[in-house]
Structure 1
Amino acid sequence: MSSAPPVADTGRPARPREIPTIRRRDGIGGALAFRNDQLGFLGAGLDRYGDIFRFRPLGIPIVLVNHPDYIRHILVENGERYDKDAMLFRVVRPVLRRGLIANADMELWRRQRRMMAPHFTPRTVNKFARNMTDETELMLQGWERRPGEVLDVTDEIGQLALRIVNRSLFSAEVGTTAQGFGQAFGTANAILGDFFRFPFPPLNFPTPRNRRLHRSIADMDAFVSKFIRARLQADAAQGGEAGDEEPDLLTLLLHSVDEEDGKGMDLEQLHHEVLNICIGAFETTTNTLSWVFYLLARHPEVEARLHAEVDAVLGERTVASFEDLPKLPYARMVIDETLRIYSPAYQFMRRAREEDTVDGYRVPANTNILVNSYFLHRHPDFWEDPERFDPERFTPEAIAQRPKHVYTPFGAGHRICIGRHFALTELILVLATVVRQHRLVLPDPTTEVLPDALITLHPKGGIHLRLEER
């Protein structure tokens, strides 16, 4: 971070600096360049202006910040001065509505977070670990009949992720309906990603694209509503008495009460939160594990070390358990390095509620602040040879040498992702269980999969790998 702004001869601090702005004459391009190649456009801006610059797609002021000191200032030290009433979250709000991910109402968000946080601690996530490994085992049983086949790994893991989250939420088998939910989200993700890059025409304008979006939202809503209605009917039939089984997440949310007002969620808010959980858990697991298996296929030396750790910890067992997690540090390092290179939630935004100064730069009120971890996680000042896949970056010693906020796969500050413990537990358990029995190999060693910058960072065309038994 640069030094403090100079002091004028009068003894008074100098006026805040203006943030550099991309202009047409810079050769970087304007709204169409941002729409056609978002990552290329932002990368060119960073190359030209450094860690903070402004651009205006269709006149909307956006400031990209790309330094851990700036992120600490905005998300941690001054978190209350920045909210989620920002362009990106306005774009996704037709899907996520008032759920935790995109909620701009700070008081409602705090109330919901208070009620939900106890159900997402490492201790409570332990109760759902068996769902993760049971469903992984079922997937692998199906794989046993497909040796040598080239799998659409993104689709396979996507279906697994939905089965895990819905078993954890609803204690239910979701079957082929999970695939329909994934397809509906994929459609919405692509449409909203395009709209974020070029927000015109408005989403409420009846274009064919917007009709497809609203059909997809309706499909996802129907999926969630079906399970909530069934649970409410079952509860009514039992007279409101809970069964003897371990409660699932839906039961916990249904009976959650805010410690301040003594009330629970209404059904509309419950629907929004359940939909947010489904989308968040599905997308994080699907994309991260797809990229993990792709990177392992390209780096056999990392794969060999991972195999050695997993074999030593599991011994004769073929399925990992929650108790194994502390004994699998290299598996966690592989996950962390994958999240560095290909974070699914690779961008997020805040809106400046009032004028602020960041490192001497004036940030006007209502400015959209963009954090793009695709670039933050490649910042050459903090990551040597940043395109190299190297899990050793995440040894305890290496982590201690870096600024905390240069790595933000789950965000930072008071709005850090509530599901991060669930996600990390699932990612490590699925990874360890899969690699204990199988390898996933590139059919063509020259194949290169590129990231697709939608609302989330998706492997373009999906990951396709050949299944081999170990």
Structure 2
Amino acid sequence: MPDGGIDRIPGPPAGGDGVKAIVAAGGLHNYQLKLHAEFGPVVRFPLPGADVAVSVADPVLLEATAEINKRPEKLFEFLEPLQESGNVQTLPEDEHVPWRRVMLSVLAGRPSHEAHFAQFTALTASMADRWAENAARGPVELQKDLSELSLRMICEYALGNGLRSEEAAGRVVSAFEDVLTDYLARLYQMDVGGTEEERRVRSEEALAYLRATVDEVLTAHRERGTTEHADRSDLVAALVRAGESPARIRDTVLTTMLAAHHTTGVAISWTLYLLARHPEVAERATEEVDRVLGDRTAPDYGDLRPLSYLDTVLREAMRLYPPGPYGAREATEDLTLGEYTVPAGTTIFYPFWAVHMNPEHWPDPEVFDPDRFTPEASAQRHRFAYIPFGLGPRSCEGSVLAMVEAKLVLAMLLKRFRFQMAPDQTVTPVERFVLWAAEDIRMDLTPR
């Protein structure tokens, strides 16, 4: 029989300094791994912005939270500078449900993927050409280049025209970093360089640049007009047809740009990192790419499904290095989590990384083994044992698109290059809103 009282849930001593503990652990994702290793699958802990939160690393217990459609507003305040129509990450349910329906109608739809696939291919080919030209000059920085590529892809997708140069993409990436770094410094009281006033000025200038960039392309979009069925592949057109306000459309585009360029590029880079460390897996994945593509340097959209082993490689990489390492909900009614009762209003924390490293559901969890994701193996596993895109009605709307982009890019890069870790580097995962590598991931390329 569950016993009431959040204080019964195990965790660090009440009244502790949550910020200090998180910083000492190297970020919130590492802190979660430590907490669950010490206290078990359900942990109470002090979380900045939420006072006390309950973290759940057991996929079976996550079932009780799966239908919650509310995020804790304070935890997502850092996105408010990007929003004018109300934070799209914390919209109330009556606004969120129709907004999400529009987003999924485009982001998860095959017509939109096929409509943009040729441009995604061209952008990837351009980056690969640049890598090939510079291969003799030294290693590439995977996360820098792949995040910029992902940004250009999502801009082409969300805005109907891309950022047409690496310089423009790089400036947008830097602008997002300036805005979010200012928030990170204030939230965790971290020394990230510069004075508080210098960070504030950079953040305000960066935000103004981001808004101006999106406004410029939205104006061009309106002038160009849309066809009756364009909303099946055009995110802005779909939002317009749904009656969303211009401010909500801009907020949605900015949030989509932020989420997509951080997560997809990082997921691809961690996958290439693991392949470089496991040459036998890389060889198997490359053989599959060669078999499916033949003499072609890029897949067609229809080639993605036959790349089944590459799909397992990508999924296993996102298990070991989930791009977004956590999520959160706010309990809208009392919840039963195993032997505990969690009262309404409590922040429920989803530690994706700790869930993915739960040895009860992932034997030898630190081992890289793509065969965990064969259809047979996956069928034996709880549906919430693997949640790189979250779960329930607030899960990532762009998850299907992200997988399309990632498989396309990986197939093209494996077709053209062999990857080897550059010497004398230590790759350390750190929290930068996503699971980033502290000093990037430097890779030596050999053209095939």
Match of 1:106 in 2: 93
Change (3 A) 1:385 1:244: closer
CA distance in 2, matches of 1:392, 1:338: 12
Does residue 319 of the first structure (1) align with residue 308 of the second (2)?
Answer: no
Does residue 171 of the first structure (1) align with residue 150 of the second (2)?
Answer: no
Greater C-alpha radius of gyration: 1
> Which deviates further from its counterpart, 348-357 or 375-384?
348-357
1:465 partner letter:
M
1:319 partner letter:
A
CA distance in 1, matches of 2:249, 2:231: 20
Gaps of 5+ in 2: none
1:402 positional shift: 1.1
- SS of alignment partner, residue 357 of structure 1: strand
- SS of alignment partner, residue 224 of structure 1: helix
1:282 positional shift: 1.0
CA deviations over 1:435-460 (Å, ceiling 9, x no partner): 1011221121x633111112221111
Match of 2:373 in 1: 394
CA distance in 2, matches of 1:457, 1:190: 15
CA distance in 1, matches of 2:188, 2:174: 22
Match of 1:36 among 13, 24, 33: 24
Gaps of 5+ in 1: 6-13, 201-205, 236-240, 258-263
CA distance in 2, matches of 1:177, 1:317: 30
Match of 1:468 in 2: 446
1:159 positional shift: 1.9
Does residue 89 of the first structure (1) align with residue 89 of the second (2)?
Answer: no
Change (3 A) 1:360 1:345: same
CA distance in 1, matches of 2:270, 2:90: 29
Match of 1:223 in 2: 213
CA deviations over 1:123-157 (Å, ceiling 9, x no partner): 22222222211211122222231223311121211
- Identical aligned residues as a percent: 28
Does residue 249 of the first structure (1) align with residue 234 of the second (2)?
Answer: yes
Match of 1:455 in 2: 433
Listed as ranges, the matches of 1:70-81 within 5 Å are: 70-76=61-67, 79-80=68-69
TM-score of the aligned structures, taking structure 2 as reference length: 0.89
Does residue 150 of the first structure (1) align with residue 139 of the second (2)?
Answer: yes
1:46 positional shift: 1.5
1:199 positional shift: 10
- SS of alignment partner, residue 344 of structure 1: coil
- SS of alignment partner, residue 369 of structure 1: strand
CA distance in 2, matches of 1:324, 1:99: 40
Q: Do 1:93 and 1:102's aligned partners in 2 also have CA atoms closer than 8 Å?
A: no
- SS of alignment partner, residue 327 of structure 1: coil
- SS of alignment partner, residue 441 of structure 1: strand
1:315 partner letter:
G
Listed as ranges, the matches of 1:13-412 within 5 Å are: 15=4, 18-23=8-13, 30-37=18-25, 38=27, 39-57=29-47, 60-76=51-67, 79-80=68-69, 83-95=70-82, 102-124=89-111, 125-148=113-136, 149-174=138-163, 175=165, 176-197=167-188, 207-235=197-225, 242=227, 249-257=234-242, 264-412=243-391
Match of 1:11 in 2: none
CA distance in 2, matches of 1:101, 1:334: 32
1:157 partner letter:
L
CA distance in 2, matches of 1:305, 1:298: 14
1:16 positional shift: 6.1
Q: Do 2:64 and 2:336's aligned partners in 1 also have CA atoms closer than 8 Å?
A: no
CA distance in 1, matches of 2:101, 2:420: 44
Q: Do 1:57 and 1:198's aligned partners in 2 also have CA atoms closer than 8 Å?
A: no
Equivalenced residues, count: 437
CA distance in 1, matches of 2:114, 2:125: 18
